[in-house]
Amino acid sequence: MGVTKTEAYTAPQLELADLCKALAHPARVAILEHLLTQDCCICQDLTDVIDLSQPTLSRHLQVLRDAGLILGTTEGTSRSYCIHPAHWRRVQGMLNGFFDRFQDGCC
Amino acid sequence: MGVTKTEAYTAPQLELADLCKALAHPARVAILEHLLTQDCCICQDLTDVIDLSQPTLSRHLQVLRDAGLILGTTEGTSRSYCIHPAHWRRVQGMLNGFFDRFQDGCC
DNA sequence: TAGTAATATAGCAATATTGCTATTAACTGC
DNA sequence: GCAGTTAATAGCAATATTGCTATATTACTA
């Protein structure tokens, strides 16, 4: 029904799934890649870099913010976005913890 | 419109997004975790472990197979699933490559 | 205060995802 | 061949996601 039975899963399972959901769109990957190329948290006009309307980009940024992957600080009339350092490393650790559980193949 | 403008993104961006999409559901995370606890590729009746109907689980397994995360081999009347060793490591490497691009925070 | 610039929200249409029941397909054992 | 078991597919309803245009909000500036 397009609805996920969240109550049946553990908190870590839900957290990992939610994080991956935030990364599960090429526009959001592109936004993060763009932020990664910036030395610092420059709020570039993403509409020049990614072919989407301003409101659509704003929504994607919100998803990334909700997932904790980026930080947005108001700076006058514009907004400065950057990778959320602590959370970024935490997420990487979480993913590695998940993938490291696989030791040896059988097949 | 619920449709993603795939043509606007690079192949790596699309690949990373697709992979994350495969991980973006707690049931699929739970399936992978279950496979990780098995020494070998035992095809357990996942319906006992995860509270979903057999067809729904079959669909999730298909998504994981399409993403290359698991391997399924027919074994008589049942089917043996296991982590896809090579691809598993490749995916981990890809994710790490992405997350490692972040060097120093600015804020 | 009025005007401008930048981002966010509202509201919509189209498509995707998730889950179910019912059915089909593929193999096993009799 | 025929029943039983297991996984996959068909087809559906409900919800989620994505994208747009139009509008609202917020902060600066003259």
Q: How many helices (H) and strands (E) does chain B have?
A: 5, 2
Would you say residue A56 lies in a domain?
yes
Q: Which residues pair with A75 in a beta bridge?
A: A78
pLDDT of B86: 92
How many structural domains does chain A have? Answer: 1
pLDDT, tens digit, for every residue of B44-61?
668 888 999 999 999 999
Would you say residue B104 lies in a domain?
no
Confidence of residue B8 (pLDDT cuts 50, 70, 90): confident
pLDDT of A106: 56
Q: Which domain holds residue B42?
A: 10-97
Would you say residue A2 lies in a domain?
no
Across the interface, of A10, A14, A85, the residue whose CB is closest to B105 is A85
Would you say residue B105 lies in a domain?
no
Would you say residue B46 lies in a domain?
yes
Range A79-105 average pLDDT: 91
pLDDT of B2: 65
- Identify all chain B residues contacting A89, using CB atoms and an 8 Å cutoff: 99
Would you say residue A29 lies in a domain?
yes
Burial class (CB in 10 A: 0-12, 13-18, 19+), A98: buried
pLDDT, tens digit, for every residue of A13-26?
999 999 999 999 99
A59–chain B nearest CA distance, Å: 13
Would you say residue B106 lies in a domain?
no
Residue A106, number of CB atoms within 10 A of its CB: 13
Range B64-81 average pLDDT: 90
State how far the Cα of A107 lies from the Cα of B2, in Å rounded to an integer: 39
CA nearest to B42, candidates A13, A101, A106: A106
Would you say residue B103 lies in a domain?
no
pLDDT of A14: 96
pLDDT of A5: 75
pLDDT, tens digit, for every residue of A26-78?
999 999 999 998 755 555 668 888 999 999 999 999 999 999 999 988 888 88
CATH number assigned to the domain comprising residue A37: 1.10.10.10
State how far the Cα of B27 lies from the Cα of A99, in Å rounded to an integer: 16
